[in-house]
């Protein structure tokens, strides 16, 4: 193992005790639809070295890519139900491939298929977490994918980058590595701009960083750079370091740990509570509340959001749903579980607390979003 100083980002990997490694379809499956066995064997050797000193979880795409040939779809574009059917065929071969390559290195693979619902509903989330914890205790290597076959259009992850980030926060990993065919975040999409530079280290996700991401993805993978930054937000806010690195080399983990090309996103150093991690990583905000400047300042000082500070309400949500909290310029500053249904929220937005009973009667509550039910993102970039 290469010696790394604590200041070198690659040390996030060297020091990690629980690591999630996400692999994109294009790495796992060749253009012929067959697994890239030789490369997978080099990865499995790296994983074995890691597993000797840490818990390891894999988030693996590739079910659709491996199933589309055998089911007879070839390489054409697929409708949703065709993708789901291809995944049903391909997932068997994908899981078998992992069992083989991990097994050859003395590791036991355990297949786990998750849907958004399993990570968005608190009870299902806690259930999935308990099972994963037991698999790790038993020294298995969970091999996780989206349960494509039963996920519906509305409740799909749509990409495994975010699923991987959700899994990493769910089981309190300290490091998440996204391997794909890109080696990191560039100052501009490299295909459009020959002067684009790789950014090696992102201490904090800012709007400038988001502006650098294009929407590019390869033919086989659905996750572009934007979804990787979404994953970075979910992970880093929960205290998980994240790397985007190329899997287009043999022994990709050894290369990364030796300081290979990558973008490292630093974890937040004041990780929030487990409940807030769950709120902040929610993917399916049911609506949004626009806060006035005073309310933005108040919630950033740790106060609850009062109805008086809400300027606008959008979406159709129920009490207890996750909503986006946005400032007057439309920037998302955080997420929270809202204490009112959307129709009541519209009635009381901007109203003083003492006037609430007259408007919504017994449904009146002092706060629109209680501070314990709120998770703020990193503070927006400081003014120059």
Per CB under 6 A, 182 contacts ligand GLU: no
On whether the CB atoms of residues 306 and 365 are closer than 8 A, the answer is: no
Q: 179 or 317: whose CB is closer to ligand GLU?
A: 179
The sign of the CA dihedral 37, 227, 116, 205 is positive
- The minimum distance between CB 247 and ligand GLU, in angstroms, equals 13
Could you tell me the two tokens for 321? 């749903």
Q: How many residues does the chain have?
A: 384
Vertex 34, ends 33 and 38: CA angle to 5°? Answer: 140
Per CB under 6 A, 87 contacts ligand GLU: yes
Q: 14 or 94: whose CB is closer to ligand GLU?
A: 94
Per CB under 6 A, 146 contacts ligand GLU: yes
- The minimum distance between CB 161 and ligand GLU, in angstroms, equals 6
Q: Where in 15-54 is the site for ligand GLU (CB under 6 A)?
A: 24-25
Vertex 183, ends 196 and 278: CA angle to 5°? Answer: 110
Those residues whose C-beta lies under 8 Å from the C-beta of residue 190, and which sit 6 or more positions away, are 196
On whether the CB atoms of residues 374 and 299 are closer than 8 A, the answer is: yes
Among 11, 61, 115, 169, binds ligand GLU (CB under 6 A): 61
Per CB under 6 A, 119 contacts ligand GLU: no
Contact string (CB under 6 A) for ligand GLU, positions 262-301, x = contact: ----------------------------------------
Produce one character per residue of 233-248: b if its CB has 16 or more CB atoms within 10 Å, e if not. bbbbbbbbbbbbbbbe
What is the longest distance spanned by two Cα atoms in the chain?
Answer: 70
Per CB under 6 A, 115 contacts ligand GLU: no
Q: 172 or 218: whose CB is closer to ligand GLU?
A: 218
Binding range to ligand GLU, per CB under 6 A, among 57-65, 273-281, 296-304, 371-379: 57-65
Q: 159 or 230: whose CB is closer to ligand GLU?
A: 159
- CA-based Rg of the chain, rounded to a whole angstrom? 22
Binding range to ligand GLU, per CB under 6 A, among 3-11, 62-70, 312-320, 324-332: 62-70
Binding range to ligand GLU, per CB under 6 A, among 63-71, 101-109, 297-305, 316-324: 63-71
Per CB under 6 A, 148 contacts ligand GLU: yes
- The minimum distance between CB 292 and ligand GLU, in angstroms, equals 38
Per CB under 6 A, 97 contacts ligand GLU: no
On whether the CB atoms of residues 209 and 242 are closer than 8 A, the answer is: no
Cα separation, 217 vs 181, in Å, equals 9
Q: 63 or 238: whose CB is closer to ligand GLU?
A: 63
Q: 25 or 169: whose CB is closer to ligand GLU?
A: 25
How is residue 363 annotated by DSSP? G
DSSP sequence for 268-329: PSSPPPHHHHHHHT-S---EEEEEPHHHHHHHHTTPPBPGGGEEEEEE---TT-EEEEE-TT
Q: 222 or 370: whose CB is closer to ligand GLU?
A: 222
Distances (CA, A) of 128 to 44, 114, 122, 125: 25, 8, 10, 5
- The minimum distance between CB 230 and ligand GLU, in angstroms, equals 12
Determine how many CB atoms are found less than 10 A away from the CB of residue 133.
14
Size of the site for ligand GLU (CB under 6 A): 16
Those residues whose C-beta lies under 8 Å from the C-beta of residue 194, and which sit 6 or more positions away, are none
Binding range to ligand GLU, per CB under 6 A, among 45-53, 141-149, 273-281, 301-309: 141-149
Closest CA to 90 of 72, 74, 70: 70
- The minimum distance between CB 213 and ligand GLU, in angstroms, equals 16
Among 40, 43, 63, 101, binds ligand GLU (CB under 6 A): 63
Coil, helix or strand at residue 126: helix
Binding range to ligand GLU, per CB under 6 A, among 36-44, 56-64, 330-338, 360-368: 56-64
Among 142, 223, 281, 334, binds ligand GLU (CB under 6 A): 223
Coil, helix or strand at residue 209: helix
List residues binding ligand GLU (CB under 6 A): 24-25, 61-65, 87, 145-146, 148, 159-160, 221-223
């Amino acid at each position: 193992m290469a010696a790394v100083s604590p200041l070198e980002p690659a040390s996030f990997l060297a020091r990690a005790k629980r690591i999630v490694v996400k692999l994109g379809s294009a790495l796992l499956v060749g253009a012929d639809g067959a697994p890239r066995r030789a490369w997978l064997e080099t990865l499995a050797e790296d994983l074995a070295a890691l597993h000797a000193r840490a818990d390891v979880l894999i988030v693996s795409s590739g079910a659709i890519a491996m199933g589309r040939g055998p089911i007879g779809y070839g390489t054409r574009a697929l409708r949703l139900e065709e993708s789901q059917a291809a995944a049903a065929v391909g997932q068997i071969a994908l899981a078998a491939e992992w069992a083989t390559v991990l097994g050859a290195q003395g590791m036991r693979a355990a297949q786990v298929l998750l849907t958004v619902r399993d990570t968005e509903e608190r009870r299902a989330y806690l259930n999935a977490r308990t099972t994963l914890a037991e698999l790790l205790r038993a020294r298995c290597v969970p091999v996780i994918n989206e349960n494509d076959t039963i996920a519906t259009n509305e409740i799909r992850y749509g990409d495994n980058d975010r699923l991987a980030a959700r899994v990493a926060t769910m089981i309190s990993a300290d490091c998440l590595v996204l391997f794909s065919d890109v080696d990191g975040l560039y100052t501009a999409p490299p295909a459009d701009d020959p002067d684009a530079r790789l950014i090696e280290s992102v201490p904090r996700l800012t709007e400038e960083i988001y502006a650098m991401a294009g929407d590019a993805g390869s033919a086989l993978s659905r996750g572009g750079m934007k979804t990787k930054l979404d994953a970075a937000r979910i992970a880093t806010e929960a205290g998980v370091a994240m790397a985007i690195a190329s899997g287009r080399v043999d022994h990709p983990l050894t290369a990364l740990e030796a300081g290979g090309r990558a973008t490292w996103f630093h974890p937040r150093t004041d990780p929030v509570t487990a409940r807030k991690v769950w709120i902040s990583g929610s993917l399916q905000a049911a609506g949004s509340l626009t806060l006035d400047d005073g309310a933005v300042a108040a919630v950033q000082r740790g106060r609850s959001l009062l109805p008086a500070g809400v300027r606008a309400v959008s979406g159709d949500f129920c009490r207890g749903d996750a909503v986006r909290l946005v400032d007057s310029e439309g920037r998302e500053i955080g997420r929270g579980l809202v204490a009112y249904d959307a129709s009541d929220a519209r009635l009381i937005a901007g109203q003083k607390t003492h006037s609430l009973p007259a408007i919504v009667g017994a449904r009146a509550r002092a706060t629109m979003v209680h501070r314990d039910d709120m998770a703020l993102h990193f503070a927006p970039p400081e003014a120059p």
